[in-house]
Structure 1
Amino acid sequence: MSRAALIMVLGLGLFAGCYGPKSDPEGTVKSFYSAIEAEEWMTLHEMIDPESLQKSGGPGRAAAFYYSIYQDIQDLDLTIEESLVTRPDETAVVRFKCTATFRALGEMPHDNDCSDTLSLRYHDGKWYIMIPGTEGLRPKI
């Protein structure tokens, strides 16, 4: 393989594994659920609002919370339905449809609805997810 092709393949591999907060609310939600689908539990805290993370008990507790819900995930299909920046450069709400295919050891695969509405908070040019129950009132669009 040529050196240029190798560099391109390595670059794509690094980009494919790049999770983290994004510059738009929809991007952060997609990145967050991509990390869940890839079972990258310890990277989730990078996309969670620091105040929300502190209220939930820190990165380990946040990872354990999402692991307990999605530990047997095999596939995840997420579609953003609506995104609304409620206060520019402060808060946003994203509503999405989500279907997760689970397959626990010894069980047949089954689909569960994981659709939700999440609040996000803006910091330093990026949007961060508020863990449900730490943001106050439940968001609605």
Structure 2
Amino acid sequence: MSSLPRLHLGWFAILWLGLIGTMSMARAEPPVISAAHGKAVAGYDVVTYFSADTPLPGDPSHAVVWKGAVWQFVSRKNREQFEANPRAYAPQYGGYCAFGVAQGLVLETDPMLYQIEDGKLYLIHNKAVWGRWVEDMAGYIAEADAKWPAVLRND
């Protein structure tokens, strides 16, 4: 007689439901704002992309929730600037990789790989993607504009 435990029907049902739940989570639509660990732009202050030499990490004590994500800022002044006009500072395509959106993909970004073009903030996935992005930014922006926000749906 085997000493292996028997899989009861109850356990099989639980495993099956877990598998189905995992599959539906994998097919769930990404949120409109990319927010790993709940923080938009990995916690960087989006105002500093426009006003400092380099983007700066925000401080949780100067945070605001907008579009379901937490946006952190280096100061109360920056938070207030954002609150007055969040669309002026928020990255395009919800903070997902601009090149990825142009390709029909939803990719997370590196907050240090960015471009401000025509007063808009674009974030990029990684250095390899950056190389492709800079080859034809205007073309990729036009493609991404045409695909956003439909690219969020997993059809």
Larger fraction in helix: 2
TM-score, scaled to structure 2: 0.28
TM-score, scaled to structure 1: 0.30
Which entry has the higher C-alpha Rg, 1 or 2? 2
